[in-house]
């Protein structure tokens, strides 16, 4: 029987039988890969060479089974979250999965937040969020894997917390686990760009084990796309527009009541009643925000979706869900978060409505900035 061979990009077991399933690679590429050592599944190969994304079935059940297994390990658990999308990347009931193991929470993508933000304040804010969710962690570290900020601190923290045990890196898809691991490997002198990182959600599959010197291992668990994230609705071109690549650009609009903001065609904010105030939008700088009067905004949306209001692109609006409206009464300075997309800061009491695609989560939280 043939020995199992794994994709060096994502860790999936390579197979040539079922196209579209994990680890698929055509037989010819497989044979070539064996010769050259470039053993990638078709998906990782395409990601590396053409930046194309293919949908592969990853089930929530498999992810949960893997998570459940973590509590049986004797290890340090590093849970990575995305500071830009805390609600969308935090794992509720985390402690059920981690058991008695120590947990280090790593909040990645710090570079997306405005540089003026005070790190202590951010740390306190995050602690408050965790407390509200009943999540207990042993330590928190804010970092930017992309900008290599605090990567050495992470390594030091891992070393001091693991006491010779294995380390499991876990988190939902797209929080930057693979990027962090690549950075850690670089910091330890192992220059191995072997783990696929990509701009698109859903690219870390299966377990990847990386040996430490003392026979312990660093393990990357698969991520899962939280289906309530905006990013699960969009095609590749649109994703590029809405996923922020660099520091968010806060845009402040002095709004009177009965005015509306469209975040492309993805979401709509109505200021129903309250005094004139400056509402600040934190979204990708490439996402156009369109302001107009509230009156007639339904018709305006129907008419301009895919045109003036993009994303979604004209060709994809047929599959784009209709927007669902929710009303909120805001009492004091509050952030209104649209999971995976960004947030609006509403500084004073107001009645507002938010329209988002069905299934996309909206949260209120105390202001981050």
Q: Does 232 participate in binding ligand GDP (rule CB under 6 A)?
A: no
Residue 104 or 305: which CB sits closer to ligand GDP? Answer: 104
Helix (H, G, I), strand (E, B) or coil at 350: strand
Residue 91 or 145: which CB sits closer to ligand GDP? Answer: 145
Q: How far is the CB of 227 from ligand GDP (least distance, A)?
A: 15
Q: Which of 65, 149, 67, 128 is nearest to 103 (CA)?
A: 67
Q: Does 339 participate in binding ligand GDP (rule CB under 6 A)?
A: no
Piece in contact with ligand GDP (CB under 6 A), picked from 13-21, 142-150, 184-192, 207-215 = 142-150
Q: How far is the CB of 5 from ligand GDP (least distance, A)?
A: 22
Residue 51 or 366: which CB sits closer to ligand GDP? Answer: 51
Q: How far is the CB of 202 from ligand GDP (least distance, A)?
A: 7
Q: In the window 180-209, what residues touch ligand GDP (CB under 6 A)?
A: 197-199, 203-204
Q: Does 174 participate in binding ligand GDP (rule CB under 6 A)?
A: yes
Cα dihedral 58/62/63/66 (nearest 10) = -140
By the 8 A CB rule, do 161 and 102 touch? yes
Distance CA 224, CA 294 (A): 37
Residue of the chain from 107, 126, 130, 145 that contacts ligand GDP (CB under 6 A): 145
Q: Does 79 participate in binding ligand GDP (rule CB under 6 A)?
A: no
Per-residue burial over 6-32, b if 16 or more Cβ lie within 10 Å, else e, is bbbbbbbebbeeeeeebbbbeeebbee
Q: How far is the CB of 307 from ligand GDP (least distance, A)?
A: 28
Residue 170 or 277: which CB sits closer to ligand GDP? Answer: 170
Locate the DSSP E strands across 237-369: 249-255, 259-263, 267-273, 277-283, 289-293, 323-330, 334-338, 342-346, 350-357, 362-365
What number of chain residues touch ligand GDP (CB under 6 A)? 21
331 Cβ partners below 8 Å, 6+ apart? 349
Helix (H, G, I), strand (E, B) or coil at 327: strand
Residue 271 DSSP label: E
Residue nearest ligand GDP, CB atom distance? 176
Residues that bind ligand GDP (CB under 6 A): 108-109, 111-112, 144-146, 171, 173-179, 197-199, 203-204, 223
């Amino acid at each position: 029987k043939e020995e199992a061979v794994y994709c060096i990009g994502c860790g999936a077991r390579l197979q040539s039988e079922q196209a579209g399933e994990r680890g698929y690679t055509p037989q010819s590429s497989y044979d070539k890969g064996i010769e050259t050592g470039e053993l990638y599944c078709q998906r990782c190969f395409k990601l590396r060479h053409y930046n194309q994304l293919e949908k592969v079935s990853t089930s929530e059940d498999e992810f949960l089974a893997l998570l459940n297994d973590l509590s049986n390990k004797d290890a340090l658990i590093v849970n990575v979250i995305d500071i830009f999308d805390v609600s969308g990347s935090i794992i509720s009931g985390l402690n059920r999965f981690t058991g008695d193991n120590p947990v280090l929470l790593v909040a990645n993508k710090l570079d997306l937040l405005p540089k003026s933000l005070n790190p202590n304040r951010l740390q306190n804010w995050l602690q408050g969020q965790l407390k509200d969710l009943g999540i207990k962690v042993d330590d928190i570290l804010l970092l930017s894997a992309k900008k290599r900020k605090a990567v050495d601190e992470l390594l030091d923290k891992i070393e001091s917390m693991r006491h010779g045990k294995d380390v499991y890196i876990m988190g939902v898809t797209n929080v930057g686990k693979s990027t962090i691991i690549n950075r850690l490997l670089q910091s330890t002198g192992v220059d191995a760009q072997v783990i696929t990182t990509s701009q698109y959600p859903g690219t870390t599959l299966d377990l990847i084990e990386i040996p430490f010197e003392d026979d312990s291992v660093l393990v990357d668990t698969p991520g899962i796309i939280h289906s309530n994230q905006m990013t699960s609705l969009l095609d590749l071109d649109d994703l590029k527009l809405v996923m922020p690549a660099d520091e968010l650009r806060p845009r402040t609009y002095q709004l009177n009541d009965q005015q509306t903001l469209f975040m492309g065609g993805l979401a709509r904010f109505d200021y129903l009643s309250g005094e004139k105030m400056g509402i600040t939008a934190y979204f990708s700088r490439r996402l156009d925000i369109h302001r107009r009067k509230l009156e007639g905004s339904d018709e305006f949306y129907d008419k301009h979706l895919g045109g003036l209001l993009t994303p979604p692109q004209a060709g994809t609006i047929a599959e784009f869900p209709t927007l669902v409206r929710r009303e909120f009464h805001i009492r004091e300075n509050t952030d209104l978060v649209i999971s995976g997309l960004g947030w609006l800061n509403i500084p004073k009491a107001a009645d507002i409505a938010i329209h988002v695609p069905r299934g996309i989560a909206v949260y209120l939280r105390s202001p981050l900035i």
